[in-house]
Amino acid sequence: MSEALPPAASTSWVVCPQCAAQLPCHDPARSRYFGCFECRSFFRTIPAATTTAHRLYGFKKALLPGPSLPLGATGVLGGYHCRVTGYQVRGEKQDRVAEWREYQLRPAAPLPSPEPADLPLQLAEYQGHWLLIRRAPRFPGIRSGKPYREKSWRDPTTGRHYQLWHRYQPLVRDALGEFDWNILEDEKLTIQEFTAPPYLLSSEHKPDERSTWYLAEYLEPAEVAAAFGVAPRELPDRVGVGAAQPAPVPGWPQLQRLALVTLVLLSLAQAVLLGLHQPEQLPQEDFSVAEAGPAATTQMLTSKPFTLSRATALHVTLTAPSLTNHWVEVTASLVNEQTGRGYEFTRSLEFYQGVEDGYAWTEGDRSADALLAAVPAGRYHFNLYPSLDSGAGPTELRLDTEINSPLWSNYFVVLGALALVPLLGGWRRRGFEQDRWANSDFSPF
Amino acid sequence: MLDLLRLYWAAMRSWPVYTGLAVLGLGLFIWASFASYRLLGDDNESAETELAGPGRAGGHGGAAHFYHK
């Protein structure tokens, strides 16, 4: 919006001392300072009194885009029926680029006396991110006249952990409407903001005075639009991540807690199962593989039989300890002697070594292993069908079998699957938080 | 202790899908461990109904080799 919106119905009028424009005053009992929407003068006067108005300042020009909420508009926010009575554009002394808009809200309906402690309300908008600001019910206890100097604060009542987000001195760049304090005096303030999304705790400190604390809560633009009956497209588009914008994974602490308990239970189950099913090593068996040739192509080696009392996993290791510069391929078949069911795997063992340019080298492995899972109870033996490289000569082949082998892969598969959701959530949150803190001088990243 | 249980009950209600996944995952893990079943498959290369022995030419039909003694 490029110009101020027309004022809503008002209860009183004041006259600008600079251009004589008549300005509406919705809260004549409190409002003493006014920003003229015709000539941008800022002046002090008492509505409905014969006192002369004093011009205090003249803003150079209207700053774009102007107020997104019309002055005088009413809506329900923060549990109050309130009216937009003042609008300011603010910036920072240390940063000429940063600029945000603040809307003063006054009750549009009579309130019980004394006024609720969380009033007055303000709305602030920065890069399309909205905050509803009210007086803070709790804040850090500090000695009078001293600013709070810590970089974080934990609210003992809510457990919220506020982290220092920003320190700055404000500048007022434009003002329209009515105010019950001299907003130009705010340029003497030092403001600190502490974030704990969706909340932002801020302190305003004037030298030798007690700090005033405010608590802001993040509002979705749609909430603001709905509260004041404005079309959402008329509000500024959101840019980046707001200081108090909630992270995209709601309930993150609960998910962390749940994932931790699940992973502890899983590890506990694995420990118990390891204790229940102790691995057992069968006696090692050695075979002699005949030299390659027509006779060797049909050779079969058979292990001693063994019995499995329950369904189990077998870890089988084949080793050719004397194999050098040759290979042997072994097809191993675990045979159930009662049913004829076979469990088969093939492994190649090859081992080469030599010396080249004075350096010794080796390649390959003299042993290979395999895991046969869910082998039912029964009496079994192994049939081994080796094929030996020509010229290798008779070669020793060793068979090692472990029953009740622990299935660590199951543990890691389930662990990975259950950790996936928290990891993805954490990754999204981390990216979001990094974007948020990119706008702060106190980033923990 | 009761507070802790309340905390986890609230967490489970906040994340019902993850809670279901966790129960399913733990159940699957315990079942697979008792059945010695490997979730990612094992090194067995034979088909479910195959009898013992490699099926290559000139091979050794498994049933014929039971009487190894």
Query: CATH number for the domain including A324?
Result: 2.60.120.380
Residues B10-19: what's their mean pLDDT? Answer: 87
Q: Which residues of B touch A421 (CB under 8 A)?
A: 18, 21
Domain that residue A30 falls in: 12-246
Question: Nearest-CA residue of chain B relative to A273?
Answer: B33
pLDDT tens string A47-84: 877 778 899 999 987 777 889 999 999 999 988 899 99
pLDDT at A301: 92
The verdict on whether omega for the bond into residue A140 sits within 30 degrees of 0, i.e. cis, is: no
The Cα of B9 is separated from the nearest Cα of chain A by a number of Å equal to 9
Mark which of A231, A246, A261 sits at the end of a domain: A246
Co-location of A106 and A195 in the same domain: yes
Contact across the interface for A344 and B51, Cβ inside 8 Å: no
Co-location of A200 and A332 in the same domain: no
pLDDT at A94 over 90: no
pTM for the structure as a whole: 0.72
In a domain, A193, yes or no: yes
Q: At what angle do helices A408-437 and A252-276 cross, to 10 degrees?
A: 160
pLDDT at A330 over 70: yes
In a domain, A61, yes or no: yes
A 35-74 near B (Cβ less than 8 A): none
Q: Is B27 on the interface with A (CB under 8 A)?
A: no
Q: Measure CB to CB from residue A409 to each of B7, B40, B50 and give the nearest one.
A: B40
The Cα of B38 is separated from the nearest Cα of chain A by a number of Å equal to 6
Q: Which of B33, B15, B2 is nearest to A253 (CA)?
A: B15
CB pairs under 8 A between A and B: 156
Q: Is B6 on the interface with A (CB under 8 A)?
A: no
Look over chain A and give the mean of its residue pLDDT values, rounded to a whole number. Answer: 90
Q: How confident is the model at residue A248 (pLDDT cuts 50, 70, 90)?
A: confident
Contact across the interface for A374 and B54, Cβ inside 8 Å: no
Q: For chain A, how many structural domains are there in total? A: 2
pLDDT at B54 over 80: no
pLDDT tens string B15-35: 899 999 999 999 999 999 999
Q: What is the ipTM of this complex?
A: 0.73
C-alpha to C-alpha distance for A420 and A158, rounded to whole angstroms:
30
Q: Is B64 on the interface with A (CB under 8 A)?
A: no
C-alpha to C-alpha distance for A167 and A143, rounded to whole angstroms:
19
pLDDT at A375 over 90: yes
Residues A399-416: what's their mean pLDDT? Answer: 94
In a domain, A329, yes or no: yes
Residues A115-141: what's their mean pLDDT? Answer: 90
Contact across the interface for B38 and A374, Cβ inside 8 Å: yes
Q: How many CB atoms lie within 10 A of CB A208?
A: 8
Question: Nearest-CA residue of chain A relative to B8?
Answer: A258
Co-location of A232 and A353 in the same domain: no
pLDDT at B63 over 50: no
Token output for A344 = 């088969």
Token output for B53 = 């022995």
Residues A160-184: what's their mean pLDDT? Answer: 95
